Structure 1
Amino acid sequence: MGCKGSSGTGVRYKLTLATGLLECLCFAGVVFGWASLVFVLKTDGYFSDLCINATDASGELGTDCSLQDENFSLVFTVASFMNNFLTLPNGFFYDHFGTMATRFLAIFLYTTGTLIVALSNKALSILLFPALSIVAVGGILFLMTNMQVGNLFGYHRSTIITVYNGAFDSSSVIFLIIKVLYERGVSLRSSFLFLSACNLIHLLRTLFLMPKSHIPYPIPDDYKYGIMVSTKAWTSRTPVFNIDNNNKKHFLSNSFRSCVLSWFFLWHLIWLSVMQLRHYFFIGTLNPMLNRLANQDPDIVSDYTNAFAFTQFCGVLCAPWNGLLMDRHKRKPLDPGQLKEKCEGVSEQEADLRSSVLSLLLTSLQCLLFSICASIPFLPLQYVTFILQVLNRSFLYGGNAAFISIAFPARHFGKLYGLAMSLSAVVSLLQYPCFALNKVLGGDPFCVNQ
């Protein structure tokens, strides 16, 4: 894998990589399996007091649960907002206090959130708001502290970062597993108590397989980490640069402020925010959309919900494609033109940024295709929508983290990643006006999708 050091160190690096992958895959992004959990929560009667008797267009008496759906959507809106918005203060915390302190915070939050869900019931439905938000924040902290593991593997750095982000997406399958277990007789409380108990694994990994401070890049010779090793704070050796209209390179200051005000960051933020809003609205309205397309048939809705959750699990398989795309130039020999550019002062970082252009364009194209399919009210087509959604989401978040890691100084990664996620979270709040507009338009999500 391109790691330095002795064979023992290499084994340690790979063990850190593998356990980090499992951590992201099984815990970090479970909140995005919301569509599966909603099915269980509805069955258990959460927010059922908001359902009222109503007469439909044909004059038949039925039950109107639109307010229940609205509250479930609001729970996800708040959780997804907190997941991103608090990444900024968490990023500052991570950069200042290091990995160990940040992971202790993540473990505390995750344990608290899962215990609140375990102790909730339909009479305490309101507890879902703080519980899911706390779980979401704890999960993103696990991801944030794990992405630095890519620094251990040199040329494979972007690939590993995107794999971890793909695992984060795939962890939404955990709520599908909870749904399946629920249908087999395992209570929601038991499942969340088990998730809470698993935090012991996170604690052991924090103590023995993660650094106290940060993993530097590039890795120094004989670099060691763990609870018995004191590591120095890491710094970036590569400055950020900008390119003006005359294609002259102007190296910017390494200050956090200069990074935030750079066009690289501002345009990247817009790119991330728009596509993230699209995904959040789709996930938040998936259950009512499927109910409408399936004519309220719970069996069909359950089947499609399972299909959606399964495709989310495949995010970990899709994400490496983006990382490989971004890493492809690092192992290729330079052609004469590239050698000339290198002699003229073109940095490795600039080559990395150029290689990321194709990734960014491909991600945008995927989002366009996903949006088109999501706007067509044809139930079987939603299988294609699910596939495009998970592919695009994997590329989006993996590409976001990888781009920030190569475009800006490493010592600002936590702050810049947090700022990007926080500001995009503010934009994601527009999903709630979209939910309200959806209600005004008769509860048909396709009206807003179009």
Structure 2
Amino acid sequence: MVGQALPLHVATLLTGLLECLGFAGVLFGWTSLVFVFKTEHYFEELCEPPSGTLGNTTGKEGDAFSPEAEFWLHPCASCHPFLHPGLGGCPGEDLGTVTSPGKLSKSDGGDPRAGVTGLEGWEDGAVWPVCPGLLSLPFPLLDCKAQDERFSLIFTLASFMNNFMTFPTGYIFDRFKTTVARLLAIFFYTSATLTIAFTSTDSAVLLFLAMPMLTVGGILFLITNLQIGNLFGKHRSTIITLYNGAFDSSSAVFLIIKLLHEQGISLRASFIFLSVCSIWHVGRTFLLMPWGHIPYPLPPNYSYGLHPGFSSQSLACVLGMAPQQRKRRTEQENKELQSKEFLSSKDETSGPGQQQGPGSFWSYALSWRFAWHLVWLSVIQLWHYLFIGTLNSLLTNLAQGNMVLISTYTNAFAITQFFGVLCAPWNGLLMDRLKQKYQRDMRKTGFSDASVALFSAVPSLALTSLLCLGFALCASVPFLPLQYVTFVLQVISRSFLYGGNAAFLTIAFPSEHFGKLFGLVMALSAVVSLLQFPLFTLIKGPLQNDPFYVNMALLLVTLLTFVHPFLVYRECRARREAPCATA
């Protein structure tokens, strides 16, 4: 790396990290955003009046609520775990109490209805908790199952698009290069944030359009940023996994929006701010990113900004060519660089003079290497999706319905998810260090750089499978305190999974096909992840809420993921022994 280019490369790296951390994967903070949507009464028309009272237990003096009450508090009901089963939250320091059945008073002895209008007909049986920092009004207790299903459907659609749409977006990145892909990402992202900003209770159905667009824009941001690792040579895998970890941690953005909303900052103001940030995205696209792709290995004096892929010294010469000549020269140089780094196993084992450049996309997409990588990714991802989808049910069973414990463990799980950005780079660091070690040891035997890079991925693949196995074993043991270990293993395994997936694809296949292969493997794994719904139905139905048999079956399937690193290892050994065999 030329010293003069280092500041530009570092600026590209840091701004790309900020882009992934602040924008790319915000969808996975959906739980926090749903809370805000509910306080804004989105889809509240789907709620129905209850069919009966809350219960037949009589309230007594000093109770936090009376089960005979016909009204609970909204939106503050989640502020005390006893006020809304299934919801945990902050402790209620100043809680109104039931002084007698059908009566209530504030902790300071005053009338909770004093100075409040619009409470006609709500005088008797209302619950009045006062939560720190929140002004709360009583609302009728309603059955909002249909509302929850509507929000769940929006998230299901958006999360499916997060994986499935990586294939067409990857094709766009490969075919039309970086600038076009990023401008499309900015269009989708800005359209989504503006749509959310100006939705209301009457137009909440637009979330079905906005959230998938937000997801597609975010995944395009990630795809276009992953190539930045090519600028840093031996640290390439570390940077790729760092970006994937930042993508995971960006779920905190919606939590920040929720906290700002509680402090009086409107949802519209927050999303308008995200929309205005598109100016920064556009500036970064033209000033800190190339028009085309960042090649790997990086050619000498590579620069971008004026003209991608050429040094400033050669720019004047190149501009003297006709447009078609410049295009042919650019493509020829890129293909020469790629063919030196990426060779199929057939190319590397062929005789002298028979080496060829990178093959077609389908030759790699239909290879055994890609097929087993798909199995590896799909099985581990299915474990994570099923665990997240059934976590509340798991904690409810293990805590025997104790809402305080359920809330504590739910918060612990949410906090661990924020550390994905710290966990992911360790996987890339492992791959980069092993690659450097293997290069020193194997160059004496004639082992190619491409084979060394592939060999360095074997420990990472095996370690990710091992982490998933440990996470799955802990999740299958019905012991509540053990779930703290499960949460830690889950976030490490997930960070290793997605960072390792991107890093392996850049190592094992030519960079000219990276976008399409990355998109294809994510799209196919998204189809496999749909199995989580029938598995969840099986647990809740025939298995009567006992996940033991499903967990055991998935544990056996998890063992298949170890086949992938074994086959890659065997392929590398075969390449290493090939020169000896022909000697």
Q: What TM-score range do you get, normalising by the shorter chain?
A: 0.7 to 0.9
**2:304 aligned with 1:229:** no
Deviation readout 1:313-333 (Å, 9 max, x if unpaired): 211110111001111123337
Residue of structure 1 equivalent to 2:31: 35
**2:383 aligned with 1:282:** no
Deviation readout 1:364-421 (Å, 9 max, x if unpaired): 1222232344445666554433322221111011000000000011111111111111
Are 2:471 and 2:490, in contact at CA under 8 Å, matched by a contact in 1?
A: yes
Residue of structure 2 equivalent to 1:21: 17
Q: 1:261 aligns with which of 363, 366, 375?
A: 366
SS at match of 1:399: helix
Give % identity. 56
**2:513 aligned with 1:397:** no
Structure 1 stretch displaced more, 250-259 or 434-443? 434-443
Deviation readout 1:335-357 (Å, 9 max, x if unpaired): 66x34532xxx222212222211
Amino acid at match of 1:371: A
Are 2:434 and 2:456, in contact at CA under 8 Å, matched by a contact in 1?
A: yes
SS at match of 1:328: helix
- Describe the shift of the 1:339–1:203 C-alpha distance in structure 2 as closer, same or farther (beyond 3 A): closer
Deviation readout 1:254-289 (Å, 9 max, x if unpaired): 211110111110000111112222323334455666
Are 2:439 and 2:449, in contact at CA under 8 Å, matched by a contact in 1?
A: no
CA distance in 2, matches of 1:445, 1:192: 42
Amino acid at match of 2:429: L
Gaps of 5+ in 2: 58-66, 68-140, 310-329, 552-583
Residue of structure 1 equivalent to 2:344: 241
Q: Which one has more relative contact order, counting CA pairs under 8 Å at least 6 apart?
A: 1
- Describe the shift of the 1:379–1:50 C-alpha distance in structure 2 as closer, same or farther (beyond 3 A): farther
- Describe the shift of the 1:136–1:70 C-alpha distance in structure 2 as closer, same or farther (beyond 3 A): same
Residue of structure 2 equivalent to 1:313: 418
Are 2:227 and 2:294, in contact at CA under 8 Å, matched by a contact in 1?
A: yes
- Between the two proteins, the alignment pairs up a number of residues equal to 437
- Describe the shift of the 1:442–1:125 C-alpha distance in structure 2 as closer, same or farther (beyond 3 A): farther
- Describe the shift of the 1:177–1:131 C-alpha distance in structure 2 as closer, same or farther (beyond 3 A): same
CA distance in 2, matches of 1:372, 1:198: 43
Q: Name the larger-Rg structure.
A: 2
Are 1:167 and 1:316, in contact at CA under 8 Å, matched by a contact in 2?
A: yes
- Describe the shift of the 1:191–1:379 C-alpha distance in structure 2 as closer, same or farther (beyond 3 A): farther
Structure 1 stretch displaced more, 383-392 or 318-327? 383-392
**2:288 aligned with 1:209:** yes
Residue of structure 1 equivalent to 2:437: 332
Amino acid at match of 2:189: Y
Query: TM (normalized to structure 1)?
Result: 0.86
SS at match of 1:330: helix
Amino acid at match of 1:411: E
Are 1:73 and 1:284, in contact at CA under 8 Å, matched by a contact in 2?
A: no
SS at match of 1:176: helix
Q: 2:428 aligns with which of 304, 316, 323?
A: 323
Residue of structure 1 equivalent to 2:7: 11
CA distance in 1, matches of 2:483, 2:541: 24
Q: CA deviation at 1:334?
A: 5.3
Amino acid at match of 1:363: T
Deviation readout 1:14-71 (Å, 9 max, x if unpaired): 1100110111111101111223223333443434444453679987888654444433
CA distance in 2, matches of 1:59, 1:437: 33
- Describe the shift of the 1:230–1:347 C-alpha distance in structure 2 as closer, same or farther (beyond 3 A): closer
**2:445 aligned with 1:341:** yes
Structure 1 stretch displaced more, 270-279 or 205-214? 270-279
SS at match of 2:304: coil
Residue of structure 2 equivalent to 1:139: 218
Are 1:312 and 1:390, in contact at CA under 8 Å, matched by a contact in 2?
A: yes
Gaps of 5+ in 1: none
After TM superposition, list the pairs within 5 Å mapping 1:337-376 onto structure 2. 338-342=442-446, 346-375=447-476
Q: 2:40 aligns with which of 39, 44, 50?
A: 44
Deviation readout 1:202-232 (Å, 9 max, x if unpaired): 1110010000011111111111112x32443
CA distance in 2, matches of 1:384, 1:146: 32
Residue of structure 1 equivalent to 2:556: none
User: Superposition RMSD on alpha carbons, in Å?
Assistant: 3.2
Amino acid at match of 2:445: E
- Describe the shift of the 1:130–1:447 C-alpha distance in structure 2 as closer, same or farther (beyond 3 A): farther
Query: TM (normalized to structure 2)?
Result: 0.68
Amino acid at match of 2:450: Q
Q: 2:232 aligns with which of 153, 158, 161?
A: 153
